[in-house]
Amino acid sequence: MAIGNAHRAALVQIVGEQASLSSESDLGLYEYDGGVDRARPDLVLFPSSAHEVSHILAYCTLHQIPLVARGAGTGLSGGAIPIAGGVVVSLVRMNRILEMNLDDEYLKVQPGVVNLDLSAALAPHGYFYAPDPSSQRACTVGGNVAENAGGPHTLVYGVTTNHVLGLEFVTAEGDIRIAGGPEGDLPGLDIRGLLIGSEGTLAVVTAIWVRIMRSPEAVETMLAVYDDPEQAGQSVSDIIGRGVLPIALEMMDGVMLRMVEEATNAGYPLDAAAILLVELAGPVEEIREQAPLVEGICAAAGARSVRIAADAAERALLWKGRKNAFGAIGRVSPTFYVQDGVVPRTRLPRVLGLIQEIARKHGLTISNIFHAGDGNLHPIILFNARKPGDIEKAKLAGDEILELCVAEGGTITGEHGVGMEKNELFGKLYSQPLQEHLLSLKQQFDPAGILNPGKLLPASQTLNRFENVTAAQ
């Protein structure tokens, strides 16, 4: 829906002219995220406090103006796309670490703080913040909360919800509330847990208390190289089956590792069919026992070589390849579509084979990079958006991959969220009565339906109140 001049002026007055964007060229920068869909907002606002967020939300609810809260725009499911137009509230100027408490092991931060900045601030004190999405150099903690983001090290440490103690949030009516806090779990309903992963459909988070962890005493990073991807998959099952739980267990197929190596020179062999990146962390004595055990397990499963990083520099180089994988794809394909399904670990070899059948069926190249330890797949569909029909083929292939994951006992997202890419697949997981229950819950938090409409729940349930909805391209 288009915002009238009177509404535009009233909203801009809340934050000031210098904290708003409304020209077509500026708005074009906020019509996309890391996914493939696009829709342009009518106005972008940059609040600097919870009180400004409160005034914006109260006004938008009163006048039924759709609103999307946005972090760094690195999301991969269309969660920050303003499909109904309206207002984008960018929280990037709310980017301060408000409190560091090492005695009680928590930070209080604003939502616009970049994920990696937490660990950078904590490193001199011997602490770190565990959730580490591959986009951690750019993504914000607020966005991580909205999507319940994960990362390569979630196998042991868990995802965002395992590290958030409390939230300050603003309701659709503009009330500022707190759920949880530095003391962690409180009696009663877990509103904190409800808001994490709700993708901005229930409230806008304006401050976050996060749990911090002591840096491990010892870390070993290993690179195992395979001539057959199934051997790498078998290694994953065998490592965990032997009672070893690495903090990271990442796999790349040959297509992916070649793109990454050519871009980053991380030291991956170009002729391999797959690699496994294994990281162990803990007490020195424990790691001394586990490292040779993991090395032997990989070799027994068929690894042609296993290399242990000699020092911190080599370890950082190996991770540089993994963390910069998505950026490396641009050297090979003009556009790509990343999926985020989850399957039981034991189904990985079968599902990887079926994904390649889907690729052949649609005449597409699909490479694979994923958190093998917890079965979180990231098939990357390469295509050319300028070629007629290519994007439709990519989306169709993506839907088939997610339906495959569900059929194999998994789910449609592990860490990227549902957004607008997967919300029509919601029925594959949830019955109609449960969907209606979730919709009624949203209506309790957001009676006017202004908060990120068309996301998480099927769009047909949350967009119908807005006329002249902007069509995603």
Percent of the chain with pLDDT over 70: 98
Q: Give percent of the chain above pLDDT 90.
A: 84
What integer pLDDT is reported at residue 467 of this predicted model? 58
- Please compute the mean of the pLDDT values over residues 452-463 and round it to a whole number: 88
Per-residue confidence (pLDDT) for residue 96, from 0 to 100: 98
Tens digit of each residue's pLDDT (9 = 90 or more) over 117-140:
999 999 999 999 999 998 999 999
Residue 472 confidence class, pLDDT cut points 50, 70, 90: very low
Give pTM, 2 decimals: 0.94
Mean pLDDT computed over 78-98 = 97
pLDDT digits (tens, 9 = 90+) for 26-51: 999 999 999 889 999 999 999 999 99
* pLDDT computed for residue 230 by the predictor: 86
- Order across the sheet with 20-21: list the strands: 20-21, 43-45, 87-90, 67-70
Token reading at 186: 């409180």
By the 10 Å C-beta count (0-12 exposed, 13-18 middle, 19+ buried), 189 is classed as exposed
What's the pLDDT score for residue 459? 83
What confidence score (pLDDT) does residue 471 get? 41
Task: Tell me the domains of the chain and their CATH numbers.
Answer: 97-214 (3.30.465.10), 218-327 (3.30.70.2190), 333-423 (3.30.70.2740)
pLDDT of residue 325: 86
Report the alpha-carbon distance of residue 374 to residue 347 in Å, rounded: 11
| Mean pLDDT score across all residues of the chain | 93
pLDDT of residue 460: 80
* Both tokens assigned to 335: 């556009």
Please give the distance of CA 438 from its chain centroid, rounded to a whole number: 22
Pick from 6-20, 117-131, 288-302, 452-466: least confident: 452-466
Q: What is the pLDDT of residue 67?
A: 98
Q: So what's the pLDDT on residue 470?
A: 46
- Is 216 in contact with 96 (CB distance < 8 Å)? no
Confidence of residue 473 (pLDDT cuts 50, 70, 90): very low
Average pLDDT of 449-461? 91
For the cut 90, the answer to whether the pLDDT of residue 164 exceeds it is: yes
Please say whether the beta carbons of 186 and 234 come within 8 A.
Answer: no
Tokens 């062999």 belong to: 269
More reliable by pLDDT, 473 or 434 = 434
* Dist. CA 172–CA 94, nearest whole Å: 19
d(CA 370, CA 400): 18
Task: Give SS3 for 46.
Answer: coil
Contacts 24+ apart (CB under 8 A), 291-295: 291/220, 291/222, 293/242, 293/244, 294/222, 294/239, 294/244, 294/246, 295/222
pLDDT for residue 330:
80
